[in-house]
Structure 1
Amino acid sequence: MSSTAYKVDLRTMDALSAADLYALLKMRVDVFVVEQTCPYPELDGKDSAALHLRLIEGDALVASARLIEPQQSGDPVRIGRVVVSPDHRGRRLGDALMREAVSACDTTFPSVPIALSAQSHLRAFYTGFGFVVTSDEYLEDGILHVDMLRPASPRSTDIS
């Protein structure tokens, strides 16, 4: 899929319209709670302080991820709530979403490592983006997960 097929949007929750926020939360609930039959507190209080990365085609939200800034110096930025709309799967949007999420983290939080909690069956997917497993498997909301970390991208030291 070419990068021109979708629009990348990165903004805070307050900058989302009510309709955009509804579409984002609905997609996450449809996938994480309903499809994965995993009743858990999707509305966890972290959205208001996060950046929301969305991939949009036309008027349709096709994928999204949440970026949570480091809480203190030395902490990683966290990518979470990585989701592709069920209606748009099979088009490598997950790859596009992760490329955009890593790029947004590197741009917004330069020289900061990136962490995520991955469903265990997706560890190879995230490894392809430079993440390494940093924990044993653990059960989170009834699904096996592992913690993963991507080292900080070095800042460019080119002198023009």
Structure 2
Amino acid sequence: MEYKLDWHFQTFDELTNEELYQLLRLRSEVFVLEQKCCFLDLDNKDQKCHHLSGYLNGILMAHSRIVPAGLSYEYPSLGRIAVSGLGRGSGYGIELMNVSIAKLEMLYGKSVIRIGAQLYLRNFYESFHFKQSSDVYLEDDIEHIEMTREAL
């Protein structure tokens, strides 16, 4: 498969200072500024996760973290899924999800995957075989649901 973005897959300790700064900046731009949420992004989970970052000409366009089982949920999960506003509508979100799932399965084998998703993105995640597995709940005043993808 040919990718639009240059993908980097690293543990927390493998991230350079610049890469860490860029991913934290992207998450702040998306989750704090765009969504007008005041929340603590630094949750002490990053250090135990793998990080997937997609770059276009050296600029971070997309990021997710692959979370081991037992840290957020009983199953491995994907979190902090973010696409830069500069790259929206370019298919980067689809590419990010496909590569994220592949990397999670590379690490943990074919597995159930759980995510906490914003409700308005339910159809997007359903296109990757995730199904709603909780009632709607508020997180930082945004409607969320848990979604689960059975091992395929």
Q: Distance in 2 between matches of 1:13 and 1:68?
A: 12
How far residue 75 of structure 1 moved from its aligned partner, in angstroms, is 2.8
Task: Please say which of residues 102-111 and 127-136 is displaced more in the overlay.
Answer: 102-111
1:70 to partner: Cα distance: 0.9
- AA at the equivalent of 1:61: L
User: Cα offset for 1:78?
Assistant: 0.9
Aligned to 1:42: 41
TM-score w.r.t. the length of structure 2 is 0.94
Q: How big is each residue's C-alpha offset from its partner over 1:124-157, in whole Å with a ceiling of 9 and x where there is no partner?
A: 000000101000100011100000000123xxxx
Distance (Å, rounded) in 2 between the aligned partners of 1:89 and 1:25: 18
**2:54 & 2:98 partners in 1: Cα distance?**
11
Distance 2:2 2:119 in 1: 28
5+ residue gaps, structure 2, are none
Instruction: Compute the displacement of 1:89 (Å).
Output: 1.2
After superposition, what is the alpha-carbon deviation per residue over 1:8-39, rounded to whole angstroms, capped at 9, x for unaligned?
Answer: 11111110100110000000001100110000
Q: Report the 3-state secondary structure (helix = DSSP H, G, I; strand = E; otherwise coil) of the residue aligned with 2:128.
A: coil
> Aligned pair 1:122/2:121, yes or no?
yes
Residue 58 of structure 1 deviates from its aligned partner by 2.1
- Count the aligned residue pairs: 151
Give the letter for the 1:150 counterpart: R
* Match in the other structure for 1:75: 74
Q: Is the 8 A contact 2:116 2:145 kept in 1?
A: yes
Does 2:88 align with 1:89? yes
Q: What is the deviation of 1:4? A: 3.5
Distance 2:110 2:42 in 1: 30
SS in structure 1 of the partner of residue 55 of structure 2: strand
Q: Find the aligned partners of 1:3 and 1:147 in 2 and give their Cα distance.
A: 31
Alignment correspondent of 2:103 = 104
